Amino acid sequence: MQVSEQTPDPYNRNCATRTILDRIGDRWTVLVVGSLTGGPMRFSELSRRIDGVSQKMLTQTLRGLERDGLVTRTVHAAVPPKVEYELTESGRTLTGPLAALDGWARTHIEDVMRSREEYDEAQAPA
């Protein structure tokens, strides 16, 4: 994909910026990056840490993050082979924005839950 010299329009599905926003806005990406903030982890550690992620989705997410230069995959010579995933320098720059989102979610969770309840009650058949 070629990056345009024009102002990026992330609302256009062909925009390079949108592909990045799609990657970092993905729920599994957020959880993988958050998990790797503390340092390198093995696949099995990530799988245990991220409740609900399937092996397939974790594999796809890690491959995408590696392709985008946000995660490195290191294979250590051992029996059995030891594979670790770690945030790259670029990947570590995401920890601040993701921490801000986490903070927002923690601050507003009660309001969101209350809104959900009110909405669901209003939508319920009489």
pLDDT digits (tens, 9 = 90+) for 73-87: 999 988 888 999 999
Could you tell me the two tokens for 14? 């062909």
Q: Which residue has the tokens 């209350």?
A: 114
Which CATH number, 2.60.40.420, 1.10.10.10, 1.10.490.10, 3.30.365.10, labels domain 16-123?
Answer: 1.10.10.10
% of the chain at pLDDT higher than 90: 73
pTM of the model: 0.83
Domain ranges for the chain: 16-123
Tell me the torsion sign for CA atoms 24, 28, 34, 36: negative
Buried b (16+ CB within 10 A) or exposed e, 84-104: bbebeeebeebeeebeeeeee
